[in-house]
Amino acid sequence: ERKLYGRLEEKLHHFFKVVNDRTMELFKGKKFDYLILAGRKEIIPNFLNYLHSYLRSRHIGNIDAEPDSNISLISNKAQKVIDEFEAKTKNDLIDRLIDEYNPNGMGVLGIDGTIKSLLIEKIRILIYDRQFTREGYICDSCRYLTVEYKDKCPYCGGKLVFYNDMVDEIVEDALNQGCEIVDIEGNEKLIKAGSIGAVLRYKL
C-alpha cells in the first residue's frame, strides 16, 4: 500500500511539474494577465507549491471543478473570479488615492484638480465613476479644458466650445497622454470625493 501511495505521489509530482512548465511556456508566449486554477479543492493547494513565482504573481483565484466539468460552466466561474478581482483592485486603488496619494501630494480629487493635472500632463492613472457627467468648455484650437465659462481660451485666445459631458473628453485626452484609465461604478468614497480623481506621475 505504501509503494502504491508512493507511486501515486510520484505521478502527481510529475503531472504538476508538466502543467507548471506548460503554463510557463504559455505565459512567455502570450503574457496573460490573470491565472485561475481549476480543479479539486484538495489538489489545488498542493499544485500552488509548484507554480513559478511569475505565475504565482498572476494567480487571482481558484475554481472547484472536476475533469469532466462543462467548459461553459468553468468559463462562467472564471469570469466571476475576474470580475471580483478587478472590482477589489479598483476599490483598493481608490482607497489608496483618497487615504494615501492625495494627502501626500501624489494624487488629486475632483474635476478641477483632475483637469489642472491633465493640462500639464501629470496624470499617471485617471479614476472616475462611470455615471459621472459634468458640463464644461474646450478650446477648439488647443484643447484647453475648463468647467467654468470664459470669453476665450486663457492659453491661446481661441474659442471655447460648450460640451454637455466633459468626462468623455477628459478620458480621451488622458488616453492620448498614455495614462492608465480606471472606471468604476458605485464606489461611495469616490463619489463623495467628487466622482473623479487621479494618481500623479510626480508630486505636486
Per residue in 58-104, pLDDT (tens digit) is: 999 999 998 889 999 999 999 999 999 999 999 999 999 999 999 99
Alpha carbon distance 194, 128 (integer Å): 9
- The pairs formed by 39-44 with CB atoms below 8 angstroms and a separation of 24 or more are 39/63, 39/64, 39/65, 40/64, 40/65, 40/66
Q: For the chain, which domains are there?
A: 2-69 (3.30.420.60), 92-200 (3.30.1330.30)
Per residue in 155-182, pLDDT (tens digit) is: 999 999 999 999 999 999 999 999 999 9
Place of cell 507554480: 51
- Three cell numbers written together for 168: 468623455
Residue 198 confidence class, pLDDT cut points 50, 70, 90: very high
Residue 11 pLDDT: 85
